[in-house]
Structure 1
Amino acid sequence: MQSHFIINDTPLSLYRYPISQSNRSLQAWDAADEYMLSYLEEQNLLNDDSNILVFNDSFGALSLNLLDWSTTVVSDSWVAHQGISENLTQNSLDAPKLTIADSLNPLPKATSIVLYKIPKSKALLTEQLIKIKETLQGNVTFIAAARAKDIHSSTLKVFEKYLGTTTTSLAVKKARLVFCQLDNQQQHSSPFPTIWPLENTNFHISNHANVFSREKLDLGARFFMEHLPKLHEDQTVIDLGCGNGVIGLTALSRQPKANITFVDESFMAIASAKENIEKNLPNGISQCQFTVNDCLSSFEANTADIVLCNPPFHQEQATTDHIAWQMLNDAHRVLKKGGELRMIGNRNLAYHIKLKRIFGGCKTIASNKKFVVLSARK
């Protein structure tokens, strides 16, 4: 099902990515996208020489409306990159002036307008604002946007601290704009990546800004690590939704002759996972692969012995289980016959129901008041 997005008399058919996902009720844009584009038009802020820098555009609602100008869109999400590219194709659009970059790339200095979709992660917000301030000049037009309920006084203080004078608009359709002048003279060094010791090991874990568990091992990962399957030499193991890679790192430390593939849709997550293998188990780096991907969509069927997984339950602001469904279905397709999916989840998410539908059954390995570790074999 496509979504018809019309702004400034320009009709676009926008899809959430991947198009095949089962949950089609979610829209590919929001009121904050509409508000920001309308404001640009009403205030006549665009001219022939405009160089636009767009942050965190999920599926192209902003960038596809700015193809007449030199535009760079920055996102840490591989899914967002694919969504923008797919929507360009669906709308038969050429984009010679559009550049799609990840959050680890340097920002273009020749920027006159910044359009900033406020992310859910305060750490990512902080990291991106620091990069903006250290790269761009004070005469840049900076406009941020989000749902009004997601812009708190603490959010505005972050903009004030890292950029400068900050004001807000009135709310329109429950969305609000934030305007900043880059006039804060204080320079801030990025606190990322953060580095912390992994308990009961000699390892130190590196976390880039947009990666979960930035200061210590989270409770779910700790419980999962206690109940990982015993690996054999030369087994092919996938750490799906790897984050900082601590699960795959632990698996490799226990079976140094396993082959581990780290998969995540976050560029920062994959960078973190790679750094953590290089620093902690450098002799095992040749047995590891690091892949930015939409679940396991590009992986061949019947190729993995073990898939380890801790599924997320949201995509940015949207709480949804379609990602978990895709992860579990992809794991079933990619596993060899007899291969095992070992996963952890909050007890209330009832993943055992999904596993029974996909695999035909599952086994509870361990549980506590909050988490359950499940096993399903193909």
Structure 2
Amino acid sequence: MDAKSQLLLRNPSHFAGTVLLAGLPADDLLKALPQAFGWSWQMDAYTPLTRSTDGRCHFGIEPPSTEFAAAVLFLPKSREQTDYLLTQLAARLAGRPLYLVGEKRAGIERAAKQLQAFGSPHKIDSARHCQLWRVLVEQSPPAPVLGEWTKHYRVPLADGELRVISLPGVFAHGHLDAGTALLLEQLNALPRGPILDFGCGAGVLGAALARRYPDQSVTLLDSCAFALHSAHLTLAANSVEAKVQAACGIADAKQDFAAIISNPPFHQGIATCYQTTEDLLREARSHLVRGGELRIVANRFLKYPPILSQYLGSCETMAERGGFHVLRAVNQRAK
């Protein structure tokens, strides 16, 4: 069981009632707290939780409508997302306790100061490099208006300016990252047929693809509810249409694609995690037509070309800049 979950279970008197566990890990904490229910914005955590806890978990960017006596926020990576989530919870908890739990290396002591906006926080417990904080919500804020938490920026492209809208917690919130910028320059001459933007984030690549290839279907896939909502906003801002899909990984992409485009993730929370990307590289063949292409951008220190060559049959570097390279692999093998 996750160390943060164990810290909660060390303090059972605080969590015996109808507690909302926000951003909880995919472990047995909900089973151990039968009156609690969960709120997750990560599909890869939500899916196993909802299967094992009789539907006591909600997926989305806002908390469930169910009333709760207290709430626990598992500290996310982004400070802006922490602000948004604490505000969402505190708005529903006037006169009731709000807890924050997280790892020391993730900045729990700094984040605990954000609780001061609602009352006088104090530390409940500390163990296994994690801390648990509590505040009684004495100053309950108004429920946050989602539009006030978005960031807008514009990306100049050869076929016109692209408007991007992102929410807190989405990769490269409020700006275009260098890897995506390089990949945007390498989207020409894709094979005809359906296109997948894997790990779409705020929808930069997906919106650019939908505009450049209007007669081809485009799917944007991500595991994060905040990214999916941002992608919807970005598509609408550019008056283009595409399918937006929540998924745990490439295995959830059902369609055979002519091209898969990705700036793939390699972080999970504060930890480095290559599993999602390595699954993509190994399983892309199962989701590409013969002759279909996978184009990804990655840090040059990541040794992806041998994996691509092994599973797809060829790999070339299309462009390099600033520590990134764009790789192109063509599926030369039958499924």
CA displacement 1:164-223 (0-9 Å, x = unmatched):
321224531222111112123665845422222233544321112221122121111111
1:39 aligns to 2:11 (yes or no): yes
With over 3 angstroms needed to count, the CA separation of the structure-2 counterparts of 1:180 and 1:151, relative to structure 1, is: farther
Kindly indicate whether the alpha-carbon contact (under 8 Å) linking 1:55 and 1:75 is maintained by their aligned counterparts in 2. Answer: yes
Kindly indicate whether the alpha-carbon contact (under 8 Å) linking 1:328 and 1:355 is maintained by their aligned counterparts in 2. Answer: yes
Secondary structure of 1:374 counterpart: strand
Partner of 2:155: 198
**Structural mapping, 1:173-322, within 5 Å:** 173-184=128-139, 189=144, 191-200=148-157, 201-231=160-190, 235-281=193-239, 284-285=240-241, 288-300=242-254, 303-322=256-275
Number of equivalences: 327
Kindly indicate whether the alpha-carbon contact (under 8 Å) linking 2:201 and 2:227 is maintained by their aligned counterparts in 1. Answer: yes
Aligned-partner residue type, residue 250 of structure 1: A
**Structural mapping, 1:76-87, within 5 Å:** 76-86=41-51
Of 67, 70, 74, which aligns to 1:110? 67
With over 3 angstroms needed to count, the CA separation of the structure-2 counterparts of 1:274 and 1:81, relative to structure 1, is: same
Q: Tell me how far 1:109 sits from its aligned partner.
A: 5.8
Partner of 2:292: 339
Secondary structure of 1:312 counterpart: coil
Aligned-partner residue type, residue 2 of structure 2: D
Partner of 2:126: 171
Q: Which fold has the larger relative contact order, with Cα–Cα distance below 8 Å and residues 6 or more apart in sequence?
A: 2
**Structural mapping, 1:92-171, within 5 Å:** 95=54, 98-108=55-65, 110-138=67-95, 140-161=96-117, 163-171=118-126
Secondary structure of 1:220 counterpart: helix
Task: State how far apart, in whole Å, the 1-side matches of 2:108 and 2:156 are.
Answer: 35
Report the TM-score, using the length of structure 2 for normalisation.
0.90
Partner of 2:25: 58
With over 3 angstroms needed to count, the CA separation of the structure-2 counterparts of 1:341 and 1:308, relative to structure 1, is: same
With over 3 angstroms needed to count, the CA separation of the structure-2 counterparts of 1:317 and 1:78, relative to structure 1, is: same
Task: State how far apart, in whole Å, the 1-side matches of 2:161 and 2:318 are.
Answer: 27
When the two chains are superposed, the root-mean-square deviation of aligned CA atoms in Å is: 2.1
Kindly indicate whether the alpha-carbon contact (under 8 Å) linking 1:55 and 1:73 is maintained by their aligned counterparts in 2. Answer: yes
Kindly indicate whether the alpha-carbon contact (under 8 Å) linking 1:107 and 1:135 is maintained by their aligned counterparts in 2. Answer: no
Partner of 2:328: 375
Kindly indicate whether the alpha-carbon contact (under 8 Å) linking 2:76 and 2:82 is maintained by their aligned counterparts in 1. Answer: yes
**Structural mapping, 1:346-357, within 5 Å:** 346-357=299-310
CA displacement 1:221-252 (0-9 Å, x = unmatched):
111101123236x6210000011111011122
Kindly indicate whether the alpha-carbon contact (under 8 Å) linking 1:78 and 1:266 is maintained by their aligned counterparts in 2. Answer: yes
Task: State how far apart, in whole Å, the 2-side matches of 1:85 and 1:189 are.
Answer: 27
Secondary structure of 2:258 counterpart: strand
Task: State how far apart, in whole Å, the 1-side matches of 2:79 and 2:60 are.
Answer: 15
With over 3 angstroms needed to count, the CA separation of the structure-2 counterparts of 1:319 and 1:291, relative to structure 1, is: same
Q: Tell me how far 1:319 sits from its aligned partner.
A: 1.7
Kindly indicate whether the alpha-carbon contact (under 8 Å) linking 1:75 and 1:102 is maintained by their aligned counterparts in 2. Answer: yes
Aligned-partner residue type, residue 56 of structure 1: G
Q: Tell me how far 1:106 sits from its aligned partner.
A: 4.3
Q: Tell me how far 1:119 sits from its aligned partner.
A: 1.1
Kindly indicate whether the alpha-carbon contact (under 8 Å) linking 2:26 and 2:45 is maintained by their aligned counterparts in 1. Answer: yes
Kindly indicate whether the alpha-carbon contact (under 8 Å) linking 1:109 and 1:135 is maintained by their aligned counterparts in 2. Answer: no
Q: Tell me how far 1:150 sits from its aligned partner.
A: 2.2
Kindly indicate whether the alpha-carbon contact (under 8 Å) linking 2:198 and 2:260 is maintained by their aligned counterparts in 1. Answer: yes
Task: State how far apart, in whole Å, the 1-side matches of 2:87 and 2:15 are.
Answer: 25
Runs (4+) of structure 1 exceeding 6 A deviation are none
Q: Tell me how far 1:73 sits from its aligned partner.
A: 0.8
Secondary structure of 1:215 counterpart: coil
Task: State how far apart, in whole Å, the 2-side matches of 1:247 and 1:299 are.
Answer: 17
1:359 aligns to 2:306 (yes or no): no
Task: State how far apart, in whole Å, the 2-side matches of 1:45 and 1:263 are.
Answer: 38
With over 3 angstroms needed to count, the CA separation of the structure-2 counterparts of 1:54 and 1:186, relative to structure 1, is: closer
Name structure 2 gaps, 5 residues minimum.
none
Kindly indicate whether the alpha-carbon contact (under 8 Å) linking 1:229 and 1:342 is maintained by their aligned counterparts in 2. Answer: no
CA displacement 1:303-331 (0-9 Å, x = unmatched):
11000011111222332221111112232
Kindly indicate whether the alpha-carbon contact (under 8 Å) linking 1:109 and 1:136 is maintained by their aligned counterparts in 2. Answer: no
Secondary structure of 1:196 counterpart: strand
- Higher mean alpha-carbon deviation, 217-226 vs 356-365, is at 356-365
Report the TM-score, using the length of structure 1 for normalisation.
0.80
Task: State how far apart, in whole Å, the 1-side matches of 2:253 and 2:108 are.
Answer: 41
